[in-house]
Structure 1
């Protein structure tokens, strides 16, 4: 694989649960002004302690599983989910568990097994977020009435599913140069405009005939945020985008970088505002503009160069012939040659270098080159030298072509993964039992 687009680490837990575990007596997290603990809130929610919640092919999801997941969600949210949002938390907990069962069943069919060591590595990273050991984290979870096994199953699914989707479908994803160039051109045209610090929530519309229901559900999420639930918490629990792992954080985006309908929505919003649900690519997208800043001022260009040199002993003609292979050797993305350039020819990738970092003898041959252009062959110090421009930042602070390619690739693969899961669910037996998961006790 040329590059990885989905992290296996369960950051959505690390950013919420790890922070919560810093608080002493995590089991006593307050959820409202009445001082209710997570256990008390769940008791009021109406989820029975022991029953079958759903059957997923040959796997059973129990109400105990649902309650465990709800506790985990409450703790990872730092107790900031109001009791009136519990019906949605119940439904989301059950939905997450069903999807995890489907994902693990499918990965099992392909003999994709996540080892205990991989799970432990993620647990270690999560514990490190709170400067505690894994054993201490397990104890804190136990104090909150949560078995570490519920967390392990979640991690196992999050590691296995992206690996399966990438392994099966990565060759179907094609990011062509026109897409990258179009995105860059749009960003260059808008570089004089503001930049936006954006977060997102994605709600896939599985059935177009139910779009209005999904829209209303998205409005309910916005209403939760108006009542004080942080955007990041809602994104972690409800968003289908991969950015849910980091609370929906897209980072700083420039005008023209997002799809047109999303781009138009954020331009008019003041910082601290949230859009209404926006239909986009088979989903409703909710965007939050956390901050704005002035456009970057053009500065000194930086280059990413594929550099190669040939020993003078090769002779002029042979050295020139060898160095002409820099472009086809694909140093730029693969970090290594795909063909043998021959004995006595060396290469390296020089990333994000400014002209003042380049040997002054070579600067005149490089400074006016654009992306995709190669310098002439230069003779110096008993060798022949040449450089190919993999990328060039005009000093406007634009992301690299590789970063743009990775983002487009990730988005396309994410959509394929969502459709893959929907197809699996349609072909599976998913029986949700009739007990009322969505109405709290009176």
Structure 2
């Protein structure tokens, strides 16, 4: 099992549009009863479900349940396989709907596309595709189970990107507003968290999702790795990074989550927390009391010992960033580069502090006069000591990911409402 766990550590099978846990269609046929949805009853027939006339077999469901466990790094047993059968079935239903939607757009995912993605996974685990397939076969999993899951994920990701990628606009005001809020909270109590979010827009969904969340917590308590569970199950954009939220203030979270945090000492795993639109599971990794030091800034300097202000102006207008400023300065006669490193803003001179105050990260200040001559200061990074402020690019990515995830959840919810889904 150790080899399997090592193999799947680098495999991110979830995307921003990961499947919703244990949801059911709003369209229920008269033949669909609680008895026919029982996992034990499913094992007695060859068909687990029919999705718009497309069959999902019992074998498909059993294979997916086994893949879910192996991905989590948990040894499959009869008991935990049985627990995951409902989840595996719902995942497969979602994927059938996603692929059917892709067919409407004449969108095809080629075998070469899937091979390329699996090759990336294999490379991260220091093996090749055949080596990965061998590990799956040793666990009783047909490699086609993984390939079909990836086919649906790639197709759905492309659909969401095509439908909404160009429509979503994150304004500089939105980015600044969130950064200001994060910075204002930097001196307050902070928690280092990771999350699993399970989307459940209706009360009926919440009950079913809550049952699935309890199974996930049980698997985590038995040794499953949280980051792998987040990649596999979570509907949050953070699924791509194993659910990691970093250091956050409670004010950024749902009030029900805040209450749980206030009454829990880390490190700890929370029970499922029901909120308006779903269910959360948190790994509370650490807590800090909010005592922060000065803001730290990383600076680079380009100096003209010969007082060549025109050369400095031209250098600034060239738009160099912290990534290439050293090499660019070396090519300019009369300009000298120096790294000033990371310094606290509380020890900067008033002149320097004022010069860099409104300079975006990666950009240069106006020319300032120093004892050695006129100079440009490049602001490469700003962080609150004891707390790492995200960059504007990271904030933009976070907001964009949230919007894509929201649209994905809505699209999948609508597909399930309109579909005819019969569970045997």
Alignment TM-score, normalising by the size of structure 2: 0.69
In the alignment, the residues of structure 2 paired with residue 350 and residue 104 of structure 1 have an alpha-carbon distance, to the nearest angstrom, of 44
When structure 1 is superposed on structure 2, of 192-201 and 91-100 the one drifting more is: 192-201
Matched, 1:181 2:176: yes
In the alignment, the residues of structure 1 paired with residue 351 and residue 68 of structure 2 have an alpha-carbon distance, to the nearest angstrom, of 58
Contact 2:296 2:382 in 1 (8 A): yes
In the alignment, the residues of structure 2 paired with residue 134 and residue 403 of structure 1 have an alpha-carbon distance, to the nearest angstrom, of 32
Count of aligned residue pairs for this structure pair: 363
Deviations, residues 149-193 of structure 1 (Å, cap 9, x unaligned): 111111122222122212211344343444433433333233234
In the alignment, the residues of structure 2 paired with residue 81 and residue 236 of structure 1 have an alpha-carbon distance, to the nearest angstrom, of 19
Matched, 1:398 2:385: no
Cα drift, residue 111 of structure 1: 3.3
When structure 1 is superposed on structure 2, of 157-166 and 89-98 the one drifting more is: 157-166
SS in 1 for 2:197: strand
Q: Which one of the candidate residues 320, 340, 343 is aligned to 1:348?
A: 320
Structure 2: runs of 5+ lacking an equivalent? 12-38, 303-308, 326-337, 343-348
Matched, 1:147 2:103: no
In the alignment, the residues of structure 2 paired with residue 128 and residue 17 of structure 1 have an alpha-carbon distance, to the nearest angstrom, of 10
**Matching of residues 181-330 of structure 1 within 5 Å:** 181-207=176-202, 209-210=203-204, 213-214=207-208, 216-217=210-211, 220-221=214-215, 224-225=218-219, 228=222, 230=224, 232=226, 234-245=229-240, 248-256=242-250, 258-261=252-255, 262-263=257-258, 265-280=260-275, 282-293=277-288, 297-298=292-293, 301-302=296-297
Against the structure 1 CA distance between its residues 238 and 195, is the aligned structure 2 distance closer, same or farther, given a 3 Å change threshold? same
Deviations, residues 119-157 of structure 1 (Å, cap 9, x unaligned): 122222322344332212223323333221111111122
When structure 1 is superposed on structure 2, of 348-357 and 195-204 the one drifting more is: 348-357
In the alignment, the residues of structure 1 paired with residue 396 and residue 132 of structure 2 have an alpha-carbon distance, to the nearest angstrom, of 38
SS in 2 for 1:60: strand
Higher relative contact order by CA 8 Å / sep ≥ 6: 1 or 2? 2
Contact 1:371 1:392 in 2 (8 A): no
In the alignment, the residues of structure 2 paired with residue 180 and residue 123 of structure 1 have an alpha-carbon distance, to the nearest angstrom, of 35
Cα drift, residue 97 of structure 1: 1.0
Alignment TM-score, normalising by the size of structure 1: 0.66
Cα drift, residue 82 of structure 1: 6.0
In the alignment, the residues of structure 1 paired with residue 74 and residue 384 of structure 2 have an alpha-carbon distance, to the nearest angstrom, of 46
Q: Which one of the candidate residues 1, 5, 8 is aligned to 1:18?
A: 8
Against the structure 1 CA distance between its residues 63 and 304, is the aligned structure 2 distance closer, same or farther, given a 3 Å change threshold? farther
**Matching of residues 29-40 of structure 1 within 5 Å:** none
Against the structure 1 CA distance between its residues 392 and 60, is the aligned structure 2 distance closer, same or farther, given a 3 Å change threshold? same
Q: Hey, what does 1:416 align to over in structure 2?
A: 407
Q: Which one of the candidate residues 126, 129, 152 is aligned to 1:131?
A: 126
Cα drift, residue 203 of structure 1: 1.8
When structure 1 is superposed on structure 2, of 255-264 and 101-110 the one drifting more is: 255-264
Against the structure 1 CA distance between its residues 200 and 110, is the aligned structure 2 distance closer, same or farther, given a 3 Å change threshold? same
Deviations, residues 343-368 of structure 1 (Å, cap 9, x unaligned): xx62223269997169xxxx997642
Against the structure 1 CA distance between its residues 104 and 303, is the aligned structure 2 distance closer, same or farther, given a 3 Å change threshold? farther
Q: Which one of the candidate residues 366, 370, 385 is aligned to 2:357?
A: 370
Contact 1:187 1:256 in 2 (8 A): no
In the alignment, the residues of structure 1 paired with residue 106 and residue 205 of structure 2 have an alpha-carbon distance, to the nearest angstrom, of 36
In the alignment, the residues of structure 2 paired with residue 172 and residue 403 of structure 1 have an alpha-carbon distance, to the nearest angstrom, of 19
Q: Which one of the candidate residues 27, 46, 49 is aligned to 1:51?
A: 46
In the alignment, the residues of structure 2 paired with residue 98 and residue 425 of structure 1 have an alpha-carbon distance, to the nearest angstrom, of 9
Cα drift, residue 76 of structure 1: 2.2
SS in 2 for 1:175: coil
In the alignment, the residues of structure 2 paired with residue 47 and residue 53 of structure 1 have an alpha-carbon distance, to the nearest angstrom, of 6
**Matching of residues 92-131 of structure 1 within 5 Å:** 92-131=87-126
In the alignment, the residues of structure 2 paired with residue 52 and residue 187 of structure 1 have an alpha-carbon distance, to the nearest angstrom, of 51
In the alignment, the residues of structure 1 paired with residue 229 and residue 418 of structure 2 have an alpha-carbon distance, to the nearest angstrom, of 30
Against the structure 1 CA distance between its residues 424 and 54, is the aligned structure 2 distance closer, same or farther, given a 3 Å change threshold? same
Cα drift, residue 300 of structure 1: 6.1
